[in-house]
Amino acid sequence: MSDPRAVLVTGAASGIGRACALRLLAEDHRVVACDLAREALEAALGGAAGRDRLELFAGDVSSQHDCAAAAALAVERYGRLDAVLHWAALHSITHWTRLDAQECNRILSVNVTGSFLITQAAARHMQARRSGAIVLCSSSSMITGPVGGEAGNGGPAYVASKAAIVGLVRSLARALGPSGIRVNAVVPGVTETPMIETYSAEHRATLQARIPLGRIAEPDDIAAVGCFLISDAARYMNGEMVIVNGGAAFG
């Protein structure tokens, strides 16, 4: 991206979101970094260069109020909101035999409803300028269909939530495209984030063996693609799901 942009990044206290915020700041963009706890954001980004270009926002993406407030903060602070990179999500490894309605609904509330709400909040500001780019996050698990359990793989609640992003992106891309707002998604494979901290060495080796590039993704590998999708280089991409998994064999 050439010109400085105002970008809202969710899930910014760790993993892909943190890598994304740091990359944007290094490229002289303006960032509103959002996560559940301000303390975690301070720990992850507080020492980042260019604090005059960084606002921290503690909020829950499953809250309509918090999503609206995060988008409004970008407009108040920087005069506009050019893009959203939405990485915030909850993981669930619970097997179907133990999954209850409360956990299932909470995962869907954050991962699906949260993706809609942050898009809705941002698009309401973007419409006036007839310009904007929004990137949501799915997962390769929606292709492989893991069943959860002891290995730490996503279970049915998580997989269903990430599969729902496909339909959400396609609907929103069609709805918002006429207003000049593009909506796409990144579909990461296994990535070195807190979500895989419980994976055993054996399970990690099995996953890595399926990847032709020979390694598990680093957060910045995924963040780089998200940043590409909000750039002018991707100006004619809309409604796409970009798989970023090192060429992993599915199954």
Q: How open is the CA angle 239-242-246, to the nearest 5 degrees?
A: 175
- For the whole model, what pTM was predicted? 0.95
Residues contacting residue 158 through CB under 8 Å, at least 6 positions apart? 90, 91, 92, 93, 107, 111, 139, 141, 148
Q: Are 122 and 84 in contact (CB under 8 A)?
A: yes
Alpha carbons within 13 angstroms on the beta-carbon side of residue 242 total 20
| Nearest of 138, 137, 132 to residue 230 by alpha carbon | 132
Measuring CA to CA, how many Å separate 232 from each of 4, 83, 129, 245? Answer: 12, 11, 16, 23
pLDDT tens digits for range 85-121 = 999 999 999 999 999 999 999 999 999 999 999 999 9
Mind telling me the catalytic residues? Answer: 158
CA distance 30 to 134: 16
pLDDT tens digits for range 174-229 = 999 999 999 999 999 999 998 888 788 888 898 899 999 999 999 999 999 999 99
For residue 249, pLDDT over 80 is answered with no
CA distance 157 to 121: 25
Q: Are 211 and 247 in contact (CB under 8 A)?
A: yes
Q: What pLDDT was estimated at residue 152?
A: 77
CA distance 177 to 227: 19
